[in-house]
Structure 1
Amino acid sequence: MCKVIDYTGNGAFFPCGASYPKPKNSFSSIEKNVDVYFPSRKRIRVTAPFVATCESFEQKKQPSIEVLPDECLFEVFRRLSSGQERSACACVSKRWLTLLSSIRRDETFASKPNVSSESNGVEGEAETQDIEGEGYLTRCLDGKKATDVRLAAIAIGTASHGGLGKLSIRGNNPCRGVTDAGLKAVARGSPSLRDLSLWNVSSLGDEGLSEIAHGCHLLEKLDLCQCPAITDKSLLDIAKNCPNLTSLTIDSCSNIGNESLLAVGQYCPNLKVIAVKNCPLIGDQGIAGLFSSAGHALTKVKLQALNISDVSLAVIGHYGIAMTDLALGGLQSVNERGFWVMGNGQGLQKLKSLTISACNGVSDLGLEALCKGCPNLKLFCLQKCAVLLDNGLVAFVKASVSLENLQLEECHRITQAGFFGILLNCGKKLKALSLVNCFGVKDYTYACPLVAPCNSLQSLAIRNCPGVGNATVAIVGKLCPKLTHLELSGLLGITDEGLFPLVQSCLASLVEVNLSGCVNVTDKSVSAIAELHGGTLESLITDGCRQVTDATLLEISKSCWLLDELDVSKCGITDSGIATLAGAVQLSLRVLSLSGCHLVSDKSLPFLHELGQNLQGLNIQHCHGMSSITVDVLVEQLWRCDILS
């Protein structure tokens, strides 16, 4: 009220300001119903005509920086000294953002050394060295987030922090996807970029990738997947301007051909990893040219779904002298002769891992040559090889002096005789063997010869082989007494009759057991696993074994001291079994899965709460006996545990 009373009208209500002194007795002029007091004024005498116009009431327009052309704004922006100032200016408008993103790092005023000053020249040199050591920030744009505006903002925002070191763009924004303009902004703002991945970006072409080549000379890894607009033109620029390139992936790029691989082999002496998949324009000329130029440095190679012939495999076998990992898949034009020549090329002496998938040329003769040409091979994976027979595979295993891991998937002509032949002839070196979807392995009566067992085999996995039954499993127990990792999943023919002898014959205690999908396995064999191997067992998975009940959990609570992961999904587990687990003092589970256990109800809440003190993961999906209220309580109480509900 005092402010109202003492108000003198300084320019707030009257344009002429306060011309008269404050009245002596202000309260004498205030009426009872008046809320605001205005002092009385004398009428101003007008001595000249006054004409009011619209212009007199309009505020005079201040000059704006927006009237400057782009060239002038460019000169202003390149003189901004800090990244904070550049980021603030980029937020003003899209025009300013575009202009700022068009400035290369070496075009900024601060980065240009003064040739007339020796000290400035030293500073400029120091800054150049510092730029080469930068580039540790990572950004990944997926789907709708991938736009030119976002890329420009990232380029400006990260420039003052060393720039981007790794950028991944996955997918297109359907309305305003990434174009060459966005990639240009990255090239100008992040000269220290070392890792670039472009996946399923159809709107990107040669112009943007060429800008990366000219602006990011430190690029080491390039991953192109489903980029139909990118051609040999931009990859030639990458090869000529990025000598540090060590890894190149080209996947489903329909316009990239042999010329790119020839240039990469010629201009990138540090190239070590290359993967080429489903590129119709790449053939023998590109692969042969690449290996003849860079084969001495390549260590990991993956060739899949390419129109290449035996010539390419011959060149690989001759020039791949540094190669340690080789994967060949879907090479329909490669015949038996190609694998034979590759093995006899004597250039794959350092090869340790070989994967061959869906290549009809793989035969007994080809495997024999590969065995001789790859003496240090430790991992051999065969997938979808329809021609390979038992004799060729057994001969390969027998002659391999270093083989430790053999994986067979969808090799349907391999039978039980071939499977046992591997176990009998692998000597003392094979440590892991897996059969996946091999329909030719069927249960026949097999007379196990009196030979030394395969004491080296520690891991055995048989998945989704419908012909494997109790007879096969029982013989495995005799041949492989030192198993520590056992996986028998999706085998409907396995019962306690075959599994129980296998469990008993494992002299070395089991560490991991996976019986998921073995619906005919009961408490008898699973409880035996807990009882006999409880001192070493760390993981037990019985997902889908409906005849596994609380009896198994009781044995686990008594015998298993080191059990870390337990999966009893879709088993006959009840609240009583959960209570038994919770009462086991020595048990300290980290992961527990009860998915699909319909007999587990709300009564298990206190027991799950007790178990949850050590749990990091709990799966209670499709437990229809548990109410949503109980689930919410568990989520609230076990806040340190990841709960799937």
Structure 2
Amino acid sequence: MPALVNYSGDEDFYPGSMYSNPMDSSLVLSLGSHVDVYCPPRKRSRISAPFVFRGDKFEQKKLPSIDVLPEECLFEIFRRLPPAGQERSACAGVSKRWLTLLSSMRSTEICGSRNTESLNLDGGLVSSNTDESSKLDKESPLPVSIDNEEPYLESDGHLTRCLEGKKATDIRLAAIAVGASSRGGLGKLLIRGSNSTRGVTNFGLSAIARGCPSVRVLSLWNVNSISDEGISEIANGCHMLEKLDLCQCPQISDKGLLAIAENCPNLTSLTIESCPNIGNEGLQALGKRCPNLQSISIKDCPLVGDQGIASLLSSATYVMTKVKLHSLSITDVSLAVLGHYGKAITDIVLTGLQNVSERGFWVMGNAHGLQKLKSITITSCRGVTDLGLEAVGKGFPNLKQLCLRKCSFLSDNGLVAFAKTAASLESLQLEECNRITQCGVLGALANCGAKLKALSLVKCMGIKDMVLDLPMLSACNSLRSLAIRNCPGFGSSSLAMVGKLCPQLQNIDLGGLCGITDAGLLPLLESCEAGLVKLNVSGCVNLTDAVVKAIARLHGGSLQLLNLDCCRKITDASLVAIAEDCSLLHDLDVSKSAITDFGVAALSSAKQLDLQILSLSGCYNVTDKSIPLLGKLGQNLVGLNLQQCKSISSSSIELLVEHLWRCDILS
């Protein structure tokens, strides 16, 4: 039966009208408010708004309803998400728009879960102190505080995030900014390099500044697109910043450092390297406003001069402990300030200071301000002369470590004079100091006092092996470690004299001394009364089995490390002696030697041997027959090197890898 419908606008419009064109105005009837109209039966339309009309047709445009909302509404929704829950991270994964909006929120704009009043969508005030809000508050693992009626989330900053290369993008930084709060807060952020097409910019750093106020450590390396704007955002948002590391950031200038100085008073460590636009103004601001600076490292910054360095050093007289100055255009003035104001400094590194003369080092030593200095490293500084080094020895009474590299004007006289005055010296390192000779080394050993424990000589070409008619020198009984590496002139005669002066040696490193023979090394081994613990003779191509047998006989009860790499005259006889007498040996390297399967068998049959690291690299005479022996020996091995062992097949190595699954095998 036909239905009678009283149409008043509440029902859906019926598209299938009796008229061919229902939009024709001439066919539209003028109906009264109570006129009954006869219509054929129809179903309710399933098409929902919105519609897009095109001529006499219309189409449905499907849009997610929440995306229709303006950003102001989404902002109000997102700020009410639990600050320490996973909901924020889940929403950030929906789209870039949501991620961008969430990352643009500061932590102070996020509604907390305790005694918080927030705006509802109608603009009225709704109290969030309800049962549900109290429940969220109890479940929240992070404290919430109210500051001027604006809640903010405090976090300790437990997380560390490092983005390198292609992974360093703004999107990742935004995601970190949103998700870090639910995991204890971001404490350290390190960015190494940047994506070439979608790299880190000020936008990404701004997201971190807004969402992660707990950041204490920020390190930027080779990030060309970050400028003062990004650093200023960090300064304004991360007031807890303690360590700032800027390396190869050409867009950052003094303006960025000024923002840091004004907003980050807790800064304790500053590293600036290869930043051409940073100069004295920024460093002066840090010196005035950051009284807690304990460590500074400035390298390759052409605009930095005496004014900036002097300001930093003079303002932190009693807290500054570490100073590194590398390739700067500073003069003697900076070293004078360093010597006068460095009352708390314990470590100094000076490298490539071409404008510093002998006078600078002399004044630094005679200022008597560096009383607590324990370690100083000087590299490629022309001002290090005999007079300057002697002043250093007199002015630093507590100096324990001295390292001199490429100091071409230092001679034996300065080294001996320093040794006489440095009563607390424990470690002396000389590298590429080519005017130092055998007389200087022996004189330093005889006059260094009773505390010197370690002596290292590397690439000192002025040392020549000769028999010297020296007066009777006092022994250096305190020396425990001796390293003489790649000094081609240091031969058997010099080694024998060192052995007489240093009878308590325990660690000896003679790597690269190809001129040493059995006759030169045997007296040194016999004079070591305390028992050797570590011996490295790699590259000493003239040593034979006689030396190894003497080592096993004299020091087998104490030796823990033996390196015979590239000693081609070493054969199976040495391994037999080691297996019999070296019960404490943990690390053995016989790479590129003449050992065979018989020597490996001797090691595997030793009952007391407890090897943990074994290197057989380049031993061509070791074959597949040694695989079962290595399997027996490898029960305690954690490292095995079989590289370039051409007589061992790959299938045998695969079987060994399966058997020794706990051992790291190189092949």
TM-score with structure 2 length normalisation?
0.86
* Partner SS, residue 548 of structure 2: helix
1:476-532 deviations in whole A, cap 9, x for unaligned? 111111100000011111111101111111111000101111111111112211221
Gaps of 5+ in 1: 1-45
Q: 1:260 corresponds to which letter in structure 2?
A: G
Offset of residue 211 of structure 1? 1.1
Partner residue in 2 for 1:85: 87
Partner residue in 1 for 2:562: 540
Q: 1:495 corresponds to which letter in structure 2?
A: T
1:345 aligns with 2:364: no
Offset of residue 172 of structure 1? 1.4
Q: Select between 364-373 and 318-327 the one with higher mean Cα deviation.
A: 364-373
2:249 to 222, 227, 232: 227
1:607 aligns with 2:629: yes
1:2-53 deviations in whole A, cap 9, x for unaligned? xxxxxxxxxxxxxxxxxxxxxxxxxxxxxxxxxxxxxxxxxxxx96899x99
Partner residue in 1 for 2:586: 564
Q: Select between 261-270 and 305-314 the one with higher mean Cα deviation.
A: 261-270
Partner residue in 2 for 1:72: 73
Q: Does structure 2 retain, via aligned residues, the 8 Å contact 1:266–1:294?
A: no
Partner residue in 1 for 2:103: 101
Q: Distance in 2 between matches of 1:638 and 1:449?
A: 58
* Partner SS, residue 451 of structure 1: coil
Q: Select between 363-372 and 109-118 the one with higher mean Cα deviation.
A: 109-118
Offset of residue 304 of structure 1? 0.6
* Partner SS, residue 309 of structure 2: helix
* Partner SS, residue 602 of structure 1: coil
Q: 1:395 to 1:63 in 2, by over 3 A?
A: closer
Q: 1:175 corresponds to which letter in structure 2?
A: T
Offset of residue 133 of structure 1? 5.3
Q: Does structure 1 retain, via aligned residues, the 8 Å contact 2:114–2:144?
A: no
Q: Does structure 1 retain, via aligned residues, the 8 Å contact 2:203–2:230?
A: yes
Q: 1:49 to 1:641 in 2, by over 3 A?
A: closer
1:592 to 602, 614, 619: 614
1:517 aligns with 2:539: yes
Offset of residue 69 of structure 1? 2.1
Q: 1:132 to 1:518 in 2, by over 3 A?
A: farther
1:445 aligns with 2:467: yes
Q: Distance in 2 between matches of 1:199 and 1:393?
A: 39
* Partner SS, residue 183 of structure 2: coil
Partner residue in 2 for 1:186: 208
Q: Does structure 2 retain, via aligned residues, the 8 Å contact 1:131–1:162?
A: no
Q: Distance in 2 between matches of 1:593 and 1:342?
A: 48
Q: Does structure 2 retain, via aligned residues, the 8 Å contact 1:131–1:192?
A: no
Q: Distance in 2 between matches of 1:582 and 1:345?
A: 62
Partner residue in 2 for 1:201: 223
Q: 1:112 to 1:95 in 2, by over 3 A?
A: farther
Partner residue in 1 for 2:638: 616
Partner residue in 1 for 2:319: 297
Q: Distance in 2 between matches of 1:111 and 1:414?
A: 71
Q: Distance in 1 between matches of 2:73 and 2:553?
A: 82
Q: 1:110 to 1:496 in 2, by over 3 A?
A: same
Offset of residue 143 of structure 1? 0.8
Q: Distance in 2 between matches of 1:539 and 1:410?
A: 27
Q: Distance in 1 between matches of 2:490 and 2:510?
A: 10
Q: 1:131 to 1:405 in 2, by over 3 A?
A: farther
Corresponding residue pairs, total: 599
1:221-264 deviations in whole A, cap 9, x for unaligned? 11111111111111111122111111111111111111121111
Q: Does structure 2 retain, via aligned residues, the 8 Å contact 1:486–1:512?
A: yes
1:212 aligns with 2:214: no
1:256 aligns with 2:257: no
Q: Distance in 2 between matches of 1:133 and 1:527?
A: 62
* Partner SS, residue 554 of structure 2: helix
Partner residue in 1 for 2:17: none
Q: Percent identity?
A: 64
1:140-179 deviations in whole A, cap 9, x for unaligned? 1111111111111122122211211111111111121111
Q: 1:575 to 1:463 in 2, by over 3 A?
A: same
Q: 1:328 to 1:556 in 2, by over 3 A?
A: same
Partner residue in 2 for 1:334: 356
* Partner SS, residue 460 of structure 1: strand
Q: Distance in 2 between matches of 1:375 and 1:132?
A: 46
Q: 2:399 corresponds to which letter in structure 1?
A: L
Partner residue in 2 for 1:174: 196
Q: 1:176 to 1:474 in 2, by over 3 A?
A: same
Q: 1:240 to 1:112 in 2, by over 3 A?
A: farther
Q: Does structure 1 retain, via aligned residues, the 8 Å contact 2:254–2:279?
A: yes
1:247 to 266, 269, 280: 269
Q: 2:103 corresponds to which letter in structure 1?
A: S
Q: Select between 463-472 and 103-112 the one with higher mean Cα deviation.
A: 103-112
Q: Does structure 2 retain, via aligned residues, the 8 Å contact 1:163–1:189?
A: no
Superposition map of 1:308-327 within 5 A: 308-327=330-349
Q: Distance in 2 between matches of 1:520 and 1:137?
A: 54
Q: 1:63 to 1:292 in 2, by over 3 A?
A: closer
Q: Distance in 1 between matches of 2:332 and 2:61?
A: 81
Partner residue in 1 for 2:500: 478
Q: 1:92 corresponds to which letter in structure 2?
A: V
Q: Does structure 2 retain, via aligned residues, the 8 Å contact 1:83–1:157?
A: no
1:552 aligns with 2:574: yes
Q: 1:57 to 1:425 in 2, by over 3 A?
A: same
1:66-108 deviations in whole A, cap 9, x for unaligned? 1222222222111112531111111111111111111111111
Partner residue in 2 for 1:496: 518
Superposition map of 1:56-71 within 5 A: 61=62, 64-71=65-72
Offset of residue 306 of structure 1? 0.3
Partner residue in 1 for 2:24: none
Q: Distance in 1 between matches of 2:90 and 2:129?
A: 31
Q: Does structure 1 retain, via aligned residues, the 8 Å contact 2:112–2:144?
A: no
Q: Distance in 1 between matches of 2:204 and 2:445?
A: 57
Partner residue in 1 for 2:31: none
Q: Does structure 1 retain, via aligned residues, the 8 Å contact 2:155–2:181?
A: no
* Partner SS, residue 162 of structure 2: strand
Partner residue in 1 for 2:144: 127
Q: 1:106 corresponds to which letter in structure 2?
A: T
Q: 1:59 to 1:449 in 2, by over 3 A?
A: same
Q: Does structure 2 retain, via aligned residues, the 8 Å contact 1:105–1:111?
A: no
* Partner SS, residue 110 of structure 1: coil
Offset of residue 542 of structure 1? 1.1
1:403-428 deviations in whole A, cap 9, x for unaligned? 11000000000011111111111231
Q: 2:192 corresponds to which letter in structure 1?
A: R
Q: 1:579 to 1:53 in 2, by over 3 A?
A: closer
Q: 2:252 corresponds to which letter in structure 1?
A: I
1:168-218 deviations in whole A, cap 9, x for unaligned? 111111121111111111112211111111111111111111111111111
Runs (4 or more) in structure 1 with deviation over 6 Å come to 46-50, 52-60, 115-120, 122-125
Offset of residue 298 of structure 1? 0.4
Q: Does structure 2 retain, via aligned residues, the 8 Å contact 1:79–1:109?
A: yes
Offset of residue 312 of structure 1? 0.4
RMSD: 2.6
Q: Does structure 2 retain, via aligned residues, the 8 Å contact 1:448–1:475?
A: no
